[in-house]
């Protein structure tokens, strides 16, 4: 299939482009490079430097004969969304609306959307199922939920079919070490821990040790980015085969505490770095673990790279090979 991948120069988008190529599809990357890296796009893949809100998008979709869209392009930092909500409403909500509407005008029938576990907010029970209540506790999660609502309406009224994938904690890097995670600023635990191991930061700060968990630190479900990528390919093929619109969680069903991640990173890197204890970070739920039974049952998805040691080893390979991220390349 010929597919438009918005945000294909970003972290999860670039890994999905690689998975699409491996599965024999033809990805076309659309990215405004506000946060992505052109070096993350494989040679030979058509790259279009444009915004998702570009007024000529419908025309472009027609010209390129795009059959389906994978939509990754978004601002995705919870903290930033709480101090600068305007850019989240502008880029995520307005931008996605423009893209979805362009898709309708151009007759694109299949849409796979990067959603997030942040749509659930503080869960009543874990593992979290897709049927859990949706009470996002931050602007980022709210913008993603609004886009899910748009897609639901476009699906039921206009017949565009979609899959929304609610990711838990994406981590790791392609096993080759050629593409990986490079955010500025970096806010995620695993890359920050590995930067501490590299000596690029003095220490890693644990945000709170008084949560109601066994060691007092927050528990998250870390899923390898390559396992996320394979789920996107399955989701698009499912739609193309006539599948109905769906929402799926993507996680491993296993939770690791912040302290456990730090200990595992020390083991994988063989480096003992400094750890400091800090205050809780606002808006952090104690425990987020996915039930991914639905996507396993319906699409046959299976995470194959998400053992925490492998997630860390692959992320470490990328960090060691690219101590300045993509900077030395683009």
Binding stretches for ligand UDP (CB under 6 A): 78, 169, 187-189, 192, 204-207, 218, 220, 258, 281, 284
Longest dimension (CA), the chain: 56
- The pair of three-digit structure tokens given for residue 170, joined into one six-digit string: 């994406």
Nearer to ligand UDP, 235 or 288 (CB): 288
Task: Give the contacts of 244 (CB within 8 A, at least 6 positions apart).
Answer: 161
For the CB of residue 45, give the shortest distance to ligand UDP in the complex, in Å.
Answer: 28
For the CB of residue 165, give the shortest distance to ligand UDP in the complex, in Å.
Answer: 15
If 0-12 CB within 10 Å is exposed, 13-18 middle and 19+ buried, where does residue 289 land?
Answer: buried
Nearer to ligand UDP, 99 or 132 (CB): 132
List 140, 154, 162, 167, catalytic entry:
140
How far apart CA 139 and CA 43 sit, in angstroms, is 36
**Distance from CA of residue 91 to its chain's centroid?**
16
For the CB of residue 60, give the shortest distance to ligand UDP in the complex, in Å.
Answer: 32
Nearer to ligand UDP, 193 or 229 (CB): 193
Contact 155, 174 (CB under 8 A): no
Please name which of 122, 120, 117, 211 lies closest in space to residue 165, comparing C-alpha atoms.
117
For the CB of residue 260, give the shortest distance to ligand UDP in the complex, in Å.
Answer: 11
Q: Bin 24: left if φ > 0, else alpha if -120 < ψ < 50, else beta.
A: left
Please name which of 183, 171, 173, 166 lies closest in space to residue 131, comparing C-alpha atoms.
166
Q: What is the DSSP code string of 282-322?
A: TT--SB--B--HHHHHHH----SS-SHHHHHHHHHHHHHH-
Nearer to ligand UDP, 20 or 265 (CB): 265
**Annotation says 167 is catalytic:** no
Nearer to ligand UDP, 108 or 305 (CB): 305
For the CB of residue 206, give the shortest distance to ligand UDP in the complex, in Å.
Answer: 5
For the CB of residue 122, give the shortest distance to ligand UDP in the complex, in Å.
Answer: 13
Nearer to ligand UDP, 119 or 204 (CB): 204
Contact 269, 197 (CB under 8 A): yes
User: Could you give the residue numbers annotated as active site?
Assistant: 140
């Amino acid at each position: 299939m010929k597919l438009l991948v918005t945000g294909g120069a970003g972290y999860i988008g670039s890994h999905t482009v690689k998975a699409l190529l491996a599965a024999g599809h033809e990805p076309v990357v659309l990215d405004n490079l506000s946060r992505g890296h052109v070096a993350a796009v494989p040679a030979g893949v058509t790259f279009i430097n444009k915004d998702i809100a570009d007024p000529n998008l419908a025309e472009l979709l027609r010209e390129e004969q795009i059959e389906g869209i994978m939509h990754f392009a978004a601002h995705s930092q919870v903290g930033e969304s709480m101090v600068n909500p305007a850019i989240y409403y502008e880029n995520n909500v307005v931008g996605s609306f423009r893209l979805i509407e362009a898709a309708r005008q151009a007759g694109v029938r299949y849409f796979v959307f990067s959603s997030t576990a942040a749509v659930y907010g503080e869960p009543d029970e874990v593992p979290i199922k897709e049927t859990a209540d949706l009470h996002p506790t931050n602007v980022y999660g709210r913008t993603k939920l609004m886009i899910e609502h748009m897609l639901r309406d476009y699906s039921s009224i206009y017949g565009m079919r979609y899959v929304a994938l609610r990711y838990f904690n994406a981590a790791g890097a392609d096993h080759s070490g050629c593409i990986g995670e490079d955010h500025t600023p970096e806010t995620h635990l695993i890359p920050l821990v590995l930067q501490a191991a590299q000596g690029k930061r003095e220490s890693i700060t644990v945000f709170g040790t008084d949560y109601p968990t066994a060691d007092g630190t927050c528990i998250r479900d870390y899923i390898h980015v390559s396992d996320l990528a394979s789920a996107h390919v399955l989701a698009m093929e499912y739609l193309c085969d006539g599948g109905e619109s769906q929402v799926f969680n993507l996680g491993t069903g296993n939770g690791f505490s912040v302290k456990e991640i730090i200990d595992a990173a020390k083991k994988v890197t063989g480096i003992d770095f400094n750890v400091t204890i800090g205050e809780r970070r606002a808006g952090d739920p104690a425990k987020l673990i996915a039930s991914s039974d639905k996507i396993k049952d319906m699409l046959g998805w299976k995470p194959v790279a998400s053992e925490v040691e492998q997630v860390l080893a692959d992320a470490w390979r990328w960090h060691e090979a690219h101590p300045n991220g993509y900077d030395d390349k683009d």
